[in-house]
Amino acid sequence: MKAIIIDDERLARQELKNLLAEHKEIEIIAECVDATQAKEKINELKPDIIFCDIHMPGKSGLELVEEISGTIDVVFVTAYDEHAIKAFELNAFDYLLKPVQPERLSETIKKLSIKETANKLENNSPLSEKDMVFIKDGDKCWFVRLSDIRLFESEGNYVRVYFENFKPLILRSLNSLETRLNEKQFFRASRKHMINLSYIAGIETWFNGGLNVKLKDGKEIEISRRQAVKLKDMMSL
């Protein structure tokens, strides 16, 4: 799990680093001295967890958390206990008091590990066309029904997702998506494309026994002869 430590005190950051060094499941990818720097690093590195002080120059840790993605687990690490209620109102994962006790930190890491494992199991489960999926690209987020996505297009280590007038990029491989999607709804047209069959507007024969598929938005996808045979069988052409 990738983590960022946010604290304006160097000694406090070092002490927490030393404690976290005992937990190999945590990888510290950055340290930040204030909320402004932290927000930049969070957007750039996309951590799973932040360990965040509350009282810092400029914006407080509480104000920072109000501005970042709710998918990041937040563990507040502070010398003050009066902010606990507000912290949990912001859905903080945990609230640790300085000086942090190793046993108390171990409890937090254990709970984080359990949650991470549960998420992985959940993420490997098949999706149906009625399922809603969360899509995040930079600061923009969408909650989209899977049946409304007409095309997945591979771009290196990313996949571009086409729905309505949007086409955000997500850090996911097309192969990993294919294992979770219903093959009767989404067809792997090529190494680069996976199309929603319900968005096909027309099909015509193409070179070397392949097919050219036209989607309802006008986008055209070429399908090899090998995949064309599978598509014909599926659609009873």
**Same domain membership, residue 182 and residue 119:** no
- Say what the pLDDT of residue 122 is: 58
**Same domain membership, residue 158 and residue 93:** no
Domain that holds residue 60: 2-123
**Same domain membership, residue 192 and residue 105:** no
Q: For the whole prediction, is pTM greater than 0.85?
A: no
203-234 exposure pattern, b = at least 16 Cβ within 10 A, e = fewer:
beebeeebbebebeeebebbbbeebbeebeee
The DSSP call for residue 166 is: B
One-letter amino acid identity for 84? A
- Say what the pLDDT of residue 178 is: 87
- Say what the pLDDT of residue 121 is: 46
Does an H or E element contain 144, and which?
Answer: strand 140-145
d(Cα 33, Cα 219) in Å, to the nearest integer?
47
d(Cα 69, Cα 129) in Å, to the nearest integer?
26
Q: What's 161-225 look like in SS3?
A: EEECCECCEECCCHHHHHCCECCCCEEECCCCEEEEHHHEEEEEECHHHCEEEEECCCCEEEECH
**Same domain membership, residue 109 and residue 18:** yes
Identify the three-state secondary structure at position 100. Answer: coil
Is there a contact between 26 and 109 (Cβ–Cβ < 8 Å)? yes
- Say what the pLDDT of residue 171 is: 87
- Say what the pLDDT of residue 125 is: 62
**Same domain membership, residue 158 and residue 111:** no
DSSP per residue over 104-138, as a string? HHHHHHHHHHHHHHHHHHHHTS-B-TT-EEEEEET
- Say what the pLDDT of residue 65 is: 93
Is there a contact between 11 and 38 (Cβ–Cβ < 8 Å)? no
Identify the three-state secondary structure at position 230. Answer: helix
d(Cα 222, Cα 14) in Å, to the nearest integer?
55
Considering its fold, how many domains does the chain have in total? 2
Tell which of 77, 96, 123 closes a domain. Answer: 123
Q: What is the mean pLDDT of each run of 10 residues along the chain (237 residues)?
A: 96 96 94 96 95 95 90 92 88 92 94 71 66 82 90 91 94 86 88 93 86 93 86 75
